[in-house]
């Protein structure tokens, strides 16, 4: 009965989350230092749609508003949605991987590696481009993937990965890398504010280039992760049960770990370190739709994207014209939730 109820409300939840996401994104593009009316935004968007632009009077469109909407706010909102969705999906995978509701995308040290890479690029004024990435996001991407590979290599025992060893290795290496990052920051007196702002996470001054750079990595990661939903469900029952169902647990763990690291590193490279999205969203969605990853993953994308866009809206309007790093907002939202989970486990 409970399973039937959850199945029946899954499509309803998808529709509700889609509508809420569109509404939050619309509010986010019109609200800011320069207020743009809903009607003006509708005209601007309509003028870019092939079957509608003939019905829009171009002279009624404010071109300054069009520039702000299409080239500044809209790419920021889209990027926020992509990053939030990626962190939520990676969090759902990690919680299933470790069978622990307090696991998140950064649990194996990805954030520490990305932070070290970004800090090095900023502190030593590295300026180069590769595959569309600027030096800071590229170094963050490389740092996140690098620490994941190192954790994986250290955690291998007899050709298999043990989740507990992987977790402890990630914590230990993450702490060591964080110490190195702090040491570098001590000598980065000139760029300290810039480093701190990046580490706290944010979507400031993002454009369409940032969206197009991370989108392919997210698409590849999503396709692979979604294709292993059944195997991820089986692993929730325990390794022995999964083996008896014909699943190569070690192979699946390696693939899921790699894809989670890929989408998390891509997200971090674009936004810096944004915490708690990957912890809060999959846990809440699991309470609503259950542990079936065929349902959990798509709703996590929508809910994670919506939550980060909303958090970013709060971050840039709370003390306007100043902007608070969005990581600060998500931390305020996430800390009470994390403490609730911790006390619940105790």
Per-residue model confidence (pLDDT) at position 159: 65
pLDDT at position 108, please?
A: 80
Helix (H, G, I), strand (E, B) or coil at 134: coil
Are residues 97 and 256 in contact, defined by beta-carbon separation less than 8 angstroms?
yes
| pLDDT, position 297 | 96
DSSP state for residue 72 in the 8-state scheme = I
Residue 5, pLDDT above cutoff 60: no
pLDDT of residue 306: 96
Query: Mean pLDDT throughout 43-68?
Result: 75
The 10 Å Cβ neighbour count of residue 23 is 11
Give me the mean pLDDT over the 296-318 stretch: 94
The pLDDT-based confidence of 4 (bands split at 50, 70, 90) is low
Alpha helices in the chain (DSSP H): 2-30, 38-46, 63-67, 74-98, 110-123, 135-155, 163-187, 192-199, 208-227, 229-235, 239-244, 249-271, 277-289, 293-317, 326-345
Domain boundaries, the chain: 1-104+275-322
**What pLDDT score does 282 carry?**
92
pLDDT surpassing 80 at residue 214? yes
Position 240 pLDDT exceeds 70:
yes
Contact by Cβ (8 Å): 133, 213: yes
pLDDT in the model for residue 54: 63
Q: What is the pLDDT, as a whole number, of residue 199? A: 80
Report, as an integer, the average pLDDT of 86-109. 85
Beta-bridge partners for 157: 160
pLDDT of residue 341: 67
Q: Which stretch of 64-78, 120-134, 273-287 has the lowest confidence by average pLDDT?
A: 120-134
Please state the rounded mean pLDDT for residues 182-198: 79
Q: Is the dihedral of CA 159, 160, 165, 170 positive or negative?
A: positive
Residues 6+ apart with CB under 8 A from 37: 30
What confidence tens digit (pLDDT) does each residue in 160-186 have? 667 778 888 888 898 899 899 888 888
On the question of pLDDT at 1 being above 60, the answer is: no
Is residue 114 over pLDDT 70? Answer: yes
Q: How confident is the model at residue 340 (pLDDT cuts 50, 70, 90)?
A: confident
Give whichever of 22-36, 224-238, 297-311 has the largest mean pLDDT: 297-311
- Residues above pLDDT 90, as percent of the chain: 26
Q: Is the dihedral of CA 162, 334, 237, 90 positive or negative?
A: negative
Position 7 pLDDT exceeds 70? no
Please give the mean pLDDT across all residues of the chain.
85
């Amino acid at each position: 009965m409970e399973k039937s109820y959850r199945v029946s409300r899954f499509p309803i939840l998808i529709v509700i989350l889609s509508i809420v996401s569109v509404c939050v994104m619309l509010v986010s593009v019109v609200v800011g230092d320069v207020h743009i009316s809903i009607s003006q935004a509708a005209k601007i968007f309509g003028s870019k749609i092939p079957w509608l632009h003939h019905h829009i009077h171009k002279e009624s469109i404010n071109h300054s508003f069009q520039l702000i909407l299409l080239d500044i706010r809209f790419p920021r909102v889209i990027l926020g949605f992509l990053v939030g969705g990626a962190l939520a999906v990676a969090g759902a995978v990690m919680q299933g991987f470790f069978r622990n509701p307090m696991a998140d995308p950064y649990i194996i040290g990805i954030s520490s590696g990305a932070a070290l890479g970004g800090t090095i690029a900023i502190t030593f004024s590295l300026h180069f481009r590769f595959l569309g990435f600027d030096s800071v996001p590229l170094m963050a991407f490389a740092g996140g993937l690098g620490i994941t590979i190192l954790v994986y290599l250290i955690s291998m025992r007899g050709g298999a990965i043990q989740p507990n060893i992987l977790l402890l290795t990630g914590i230990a290496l993450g702490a060591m890398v964080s110490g190195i990052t702090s040491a570098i920051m001590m000598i980065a007196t000139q760029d300290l504010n810039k480093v701190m702002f990046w580490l706290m996470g944010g979507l400031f001054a993002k454009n369409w280039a940032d969206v197009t750079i991370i989108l392919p990595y997210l698409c590849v990661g999503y396709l692979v992760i979604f294709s292993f939903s059944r195997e991820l469900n089986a692993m929730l029952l325990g390794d022995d049960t999964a083996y008896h169902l014909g699943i190569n647990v070690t192979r699946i763990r390696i693939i899921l770990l790699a894809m989670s690291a890929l989408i998390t590193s891509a997200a971090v490279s674009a936004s810096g370190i944004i915490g708690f999205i990957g912890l809060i969203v999959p846990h809440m969605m699991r309470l609503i739709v259950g542990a079936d990853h065929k349902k959990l993953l798509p709703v996590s994308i929508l809910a994670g994207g919506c939550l980060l866009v909303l958090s970013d809206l709060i971050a840039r309007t709370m003390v306007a014209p100043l902007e608070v790093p969005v990581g600060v907002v998500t931390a305020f939202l996430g800390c009470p939730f994390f403490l609730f989970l911790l006390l619940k486990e105790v």
